[in-house]
Amino acid sequence: MKRSWSSVTAFFLIAALVVFASAGLSSCAKKPTKITVASDATWPPMEFIDENKNLVGFDIDLVNEVAKAGGFEVEIKNTAWDGIFAGLAAGNYQAIASSVTITDERKATMDFSEGYVNAGQVLVVRKETEGVSTLADLVGKKAGGQIGTTGVIEIGKVQGVELKTYDEIGLAYEDLANGNIDGVVADSPIAADFALQNAKYKDLLKIVGEPFTDEWLGFVFKKGDEKTLKLFSDGLAKVKASGKLDELVDKWLK
């Protein structure tokens, strides 16, 4: 039986509609959200450049695990610390993962995830140094830290200790090893890496006393960016629940 022209036309119209509908559904399929994350790669073992010029470290692994668990993609940009918060405010990236301590002062201008590592401040001195276990023991002497960090804030609280700041924490340890300053204050994971594990410094430096602050590190977001905060918070909760966070602590911090 032959089809009439009207039935043939109708057939092709229906076929065309199906094709267009399928194309529309395909184009509307959601692609994973991509978030740009800033990290200052000068704080081993948290974030640093390895011998193969790759950006690696505890925070880098954690960001990638959070993204995987949260169902989004990340691009991590090596960003100098002295402009890292200004870049977030300017919209150059959507998050910071760079050993940032959660403080009330910072929370006034930025949003934070829940803390993921407690990294109290410790004091590092040269191995031959005697009679020093706290910052107060350095009155009349010099102590250094990376500019804009809580280590510098803690040094500034002790009257009589001369503060010297550095763009990178490694420069502070270099000055300490060379005798130009008398102590360095930094997060305990970073201090342990330089003073206990770094081949260049482990025979020259030591950590004295115990951590003297209780500080949680968190991911940072532009104030009011609830969407990005939720993505990271949901992903971080899953990473914690799965035990993967503990695995990363064992890998990088112990």
List, by residue range, all CATH 3.40.190.10 domains of the chain: 34-118+217-253, 121-208
Query: Which tens digit of pLDDT belongs to each residue from 68-97?
Result: 999 999 999 999 999 999 999 999 999 999
> Rounded to an integer, what distance in angstroms lies between the CA atom of residue 201 and that of residue 84?
28
**Integer Cα distance of 41 and 19 in angstroms:** 49
CATH number of 121-208: 3.40.190.10
Contacts of 132 (CB under 8 A, 6+ apart): 123, 125, 138, 182, 183, 208
Domain 34-118+217-253: give its CATH code: 3.40.190.10
At 98-132, the pLDDT tens digits run 999 999 999 999 999 999 999 999 999 999 999 99
Using 50, 70 and 90 to split pLDDT, how confident is the model at 232? very high
Q: What is the mean pLDDT of the chain?
A: 90
pTM (whole model) above 0.95:
no
d(C-alpha 3, C-alpha 11), whole Å = 10
